[in-house]
Chains A and B, each alone.
Chain A
Amino acid sequence: MAMKTEPFVVNVGPQHPSTHGVFRMRLTLDGERITDVDMVVGYLHRSMEKLAEERTFTQNIPFTDRTDYVAAMTGNLAYVLAVEKLCGIEPPERAQWLRVIMSELQRFASHTIAVGIFANDCGAWHTPMMHMLREREKILDLFEMACGARLTTNYMRIGGVSRDIPPEFMPAAHALIAELPKRMGEYEGLLLENEIILTRSRGVGVLPADLAIASSVSGPILRGSGVAWDIRKADPYAAYDKVEFDICVGTNGDVYDRFLVRVAEMRQSIHILEQALDMIPAGPVAVQMPLAPRPPAGEAYSRIESPRGELGFYVVSDGGPAPYRFHIRSPSYINLTAFSDMVVGMTVADAVVILGSVDIVLGEVDR
């Protein structure tokens, strides 16, 4: 006797413990297997791109804190790079190095969240997460020293950074960099070879390299699929061409590889920071710029390797004090488009882990 069955649609989010914000997915289930996924975004839409057209180029910098609020420094950096390209100015050497230092600190801080959340989604009941947050706190303390804010840093300026780091920053940063490898060793020992994490993440959410490139994903997801693409190497900005570091790639493109890539990148961030803290020259940290610069008419696209992938800002100027068009190529949003390819055929429990491995920030997805 054939049983009459009908698809079981589960609405996950926008209020759900594991959608990392207000993401919503409608999962069509066959038992525990996902047969279809329908992604709904836009619950955090704040119309930033339109708002930015009403504000001066400098006033738009705080917006970039609030797109990717887990990695504000890189958001700042990507935007000011675009405006600098429009204006045709080059920030001083010390500012370039400060940008590298802040970006890498931010990458480490952001990856602690990503790795912690991944363990959390695997059901580790917050323990790795809380340990990761402990390291992140110290980095946020450094940010507070440098710019007075912990999350919404608003540190980068068109033509440099807002102010020089205080004298106590360097000893604190050196102490932190000396401590982090030890902590990383602890976490790698606890998480990387955990049998349950291995069973939960191996072969889950596989994104083959060709599909990853076709979906235009970037960042740890692309590298997890085995494509060695890193804008810090491919299109160096700030002082990244002067530091030495490795691109970390996975082999299978599954959730575990993305996790591995993030952990390895945290190591590389420490490596870059070690060099940058030694190589940073003295000197001015910003070029003199008017409060409301009026870049010449034209357009510019800047891209950086944010912790989540290629973060691009497309800014068009009509010669006025405000951008004519302001567009954010947010890695979270574009990486999310590959989500349905990864999740169909997996189970509900996997969907959560895969979403965690994409490491979206809803502020950046919805803007």
Chain B
Amino acid sequence: MPFDPSTGSGLRTGPFLAEWYDLRDLGNAVGAFLDWIRDQGAPDWVPYVVSGLIGVVAILLWVILSQLAFIWIERRVIGRMQARIGPNRVGPQGLLQPIADTIKLFLKEAITSRKADRALFWVGPVLIFLPALAVLAVIPFGRGMFLTDLNVGVLFVIAVASVNTVAVFVAGWASNNKFALLGAMRTVAMLISYELIQVLALLGVVVFAGSMRMGAVVDWQSDFNVWVLFLQPLAFISFIIASAVEIGRSPMDISEAESEIVAGYHTEYSGIKFGFFYAAEYIAAFAVCGIIVTLYLGGWTAWGLEQWVPGWLLFLGKLYLTFFLFIWTRGTLPRLRIDQLMAFAWKFLLPLALLNVVVTGAEVLIWREADLSAGVALPIFGVVNAGLAVALILGWATFMGHLRPERRAKRAVLTQELGAIYYTPPTGTDEAVRTGEA
């Protein structure tokens, strides 16, 4: 039944009616505005350019606002995890703290150390900003709410996100600081390893959805009423881990491990240049969460709920929940060592991700060749893949020896277990005193 705005009732199956006040799709308002421009008799390129500008401004506004909000939320949440309060002085409940921080970063002197490579030192912060923002261009925030729906969206995401590596290395190299160089080298090594896993994880999604277009993946999930998460649990876990590495979140914040190499590649940066790194970290995190939500968690759809709740709200809700996951790990987990992280990538995740691709390909082939209906095939695949994920993770961990009893935790040995301990008394007599019998 088509949606009828005059009665406000009924489910619709097609696209929304282009009533500009229909808040379930903000694209409606933009479309109405563009129509109005066309009605004014403007040449064809004007609405094209205007729509792009609106998209860019909207994404930038959203990013800045979310970022300011999440600086506060993250600090408060981690504060709560650490049995303290968190920022609560600037503004009500410390809500203005991020703004105060931003002003401080703007006003502070951006020092360039004497032996730094000045041009590259300046390029680093700019370069790290761009890929994170560019990724957001292909993410559908709602039905029709994207800057551009590239038909190679998934490929674009992977390609653009890896520019990050260059930016980090430029920053680390240009600083002429050993900590920065160490951090940059670690980042490059890590990102190269984990991008491979990202690609393999996304391959499973693409094979199922049959398209690299981000919007098409969302539509696929909506059509079959299943999130890719349930079909690809192993890929989902690998992708989350690889994403945490890419955005430098704990337990993989090795590139800026503050207890080891001070601040990693941005050790020498201060003032607004540091602010750029700080902001880019959040934007990259939002972008990665957006990718996870779009490709694994159904994007802006939620089993029909998007008919009633604006899709972009669903999308943002899922995105923030995913981001909370990263805040949570940051507040609770210690950091791995770089060699352990690399070993984990190559010895653990890579074989599993490869197996996952093979299994997924086989499943899609079976689905197509045996001409199964989606209602039969997808639940079976879901159960098989979930079981396979558990079996593979446990099996591989056993095979690699991670579950051997001598690798399990133990307790300190007490005197009770040691038995008696003999000490020669300090007085110099030869008689031994017997202690420690409990």
Q: Which residues of A contact B (CB under 8 A)?
A: 8-11, 16-18, 32, 119-127, 129-131, 134, 192-194, 196-200, 202, 228, 233-235, 244-251, 257, 260-261, 263-264, 347-352
Contact = CB atoms under 8 A, between A and B. Distances in A.
B338 A200 contact: no
A348 B260 contact: yes
Interface in B168-188: 178-179, 182, 186
Contact of A196 (B336, B423, B436): B336
Given A10-B179, A127-B332, A248-B413, A347 B337 contact: yes
Given A123-B257, A123-B259, A246 B438 contact: yes
Contacts, number: 137
Given A123-B253, A350-B337, 9 more contacts: A10-B182, A122-B259, A125-B78, A125-B331, A192-B409, A194-B334, A196-B335, A250-B413, A263-B412
B99 interface: no
Nearest to A260: B412
B393 to A, nearest CB: 13
A250 B412 contact: yes
Which of B251, B407, B426 is the most central at the interface, judged by chain A CB atoms within 10 Å of its CB?
Answer: B251
B81 A127 contact: yes
Q: Which of A122, A125, A347 has the most C-beta atoms of chain B within 10 angstroms of its own C-beta?
A: A125
Chain B: number of interface residues, binned into ranges = 35 or more
Nearest to A9: B178
Given A246-B438, A248-B414, A124 B178 contact: no
16 contacts: A10-B182, A18-B260, A32-B338, A123-B259, A127-B81, A129-B82, A194-B333, A228-B421, A233-B421, A233-B423, A234-B423, A247-B414, A257-B412, A347-B339, A351-B260, A352-B259
B40 interface: no
B206 interface: no
Given A17-B262, A122-B335, A261-B412, A249 B340 contact: no
Contacts of B438: 244-246
A166 B412 CA distance: 36
Nearest to B336: A196
Q: Is the interface of B mostly helix, strand, loop or mixed?
A: mixed
A124 B329 CA distance: 9
Contacts of B421: 228, 233, 247
B410 interface: yes
A210 B393 CA distance: 41
Contacts of A347: 337-339
A246 B436 contact: yes
Contacts of B331: 125, 127
B24 interface: no
Contacts of A123: 250-251, 253, 257, 259-260, 334-336
B83 interface: yes
Interface of B: 78, 81-84, 178-179, 182, 186, 250-251, 253-254, 257-262, 330-340, 407-416, 418, 421, 423, 425-426, 435-436, 438
Contacts of A228: 415, 418, 421, 436
Contacts of A194: 333-334
Contacts of B257: 123, 349
Contacts of B334: 119, 122-124, 194, 196-197, 200
Most buried by A among B81, B260, B333, B426: B260
A246 B426 CA distance: 20
Contacts of B81: 127
The 6 closest A-B pairs by CB, nearest first: A123-B335, A264-B412, A130-B82, A122-B334, A246-B414, A193-B409
A260 B410 contact: yes
A196 B260 contact: no
Contact of B259 (A18, A131, A197, A199): A18
B77 to A, nearest CB: 11
A134 B83 contact: yes
Nearest to A347: B337
B193 to A, nearest CB: 15
A140 to B, nearest CB: 16
B81, B82, B254, B337: residue with the most chain A Cβ atoms closer than 10 Å: B337
Contacts of B82: 126-127, 129-131
A134 B79 CA distance: 13
A251 B408 CA distance: 14
A127 B251 CA distance: 13
A296 to B, nearest CB: 21
A349 B338 contact: yes
Contact of B339 (A32, A119, A122, A196): A32
Contacts of A246: 414-416, 436, 438
A16 B261 CA distance: 8
B83 A131 contact: yes
B75 to A, nearest CB: 12
B318 to A, nearest CB: 25
Contacts of B253: 123
The interface centre, meaning the residue of B339, B410, B438 with most chain A CB atoms within 10 A of its CB, is B410
Contact of A120 (B259, B338, B411): B259
A8 B178 contact: yes
Given A18-B259, A244-B438, A347-B339, A196 B333 contact: yes
A264 B407 CA distance: 20
A350 B257 CA distance: 12
Contacts of A193: 408-409
Contacts of B182: 10, 32, 348
A128 B330 CA distance: 12
